[in-house]
Structure 1
Amino acid sequence: MTKKRGDDGIDDSHIVEAQDLVQCGRLRNRIRDQTQHAHLLLKTLASLEQRGATPARSKTIKTWYERVTNAHAVDSGTTLKSIQKHLSDLHKLGFLQRTNRNRGESGGRYDEYDLDLAPEIVLDSSDEIETERDR
């Protein structure tokens, strides 16, 4: 990295940047290891986050997920329950944050989800995966 920039030595900023690159690479590999539906679900949440629409309920995520799968010519073939299971799995894997809400008798109990990583990492990884798949 220092050679690319033409820097003479290594300082703390170089170390932090290298750590960030390694972390980003690890996240991309973890994303790459997921199923196609998990990729598309992460992409859905990244899109929602970029629109400022997170945290989001699973019903909202399902609606947007169906749009994403249609755009990729993939059969969503999922129920709300299966989306909730995928969201729970992605939460357990550390990709998502989950917030439990309780609005009392009139509003009920529900979960909201948002990404626990930068949406750009998800979208860049999705683009790479789609490019590899198209080859």
Structure 2
Amino acid sequence: MRTRSHLILLPARVDRLKVSPRSYPFLPPQPLMPEVPVGARLMHFANRWLQITSDTWVHSLVTQGLTFQLKKRHPLSRVQIDLVSPHPQLPDSILGLLEKQAVKRVHDPCSPGFYSRLFLVLKKSGS
């Protein structure tokens, strides 16, 4: 089935992947393994990456994640951030980030760390 310029694979046809002109298979719109969390997803497939490349940077990326070299260390804070007027979709968005393992719950909000405010930006669709 084709929609726009994308190929959608039906579950019964996954074994017969269509191949692009550059020999890359078209991927289905949904993840093949929805049980694998989105956050740090590459780490779950590190053994496969180690088989297909010998690049040490790629090995480091998929096993340890990406780290940024900052010019100076960000000061740690013990300040708890209170939301003045939370958006009604904020709790659902936070739960979604927790489920994806994109963020972690802080058990002691007064422990030193880097705390960031979370802003919701509505999509063009209004959701």
Query: Fold match, TM over 0.5?
Result: no
TM-score by length of 1: 0.22
Flag the structure with larger Rg. Answer: 2
Q: Which has the higher helix share?
A: 1
Greater RCO (Cα-Cα under 8 Å, separation 6 or more): 1
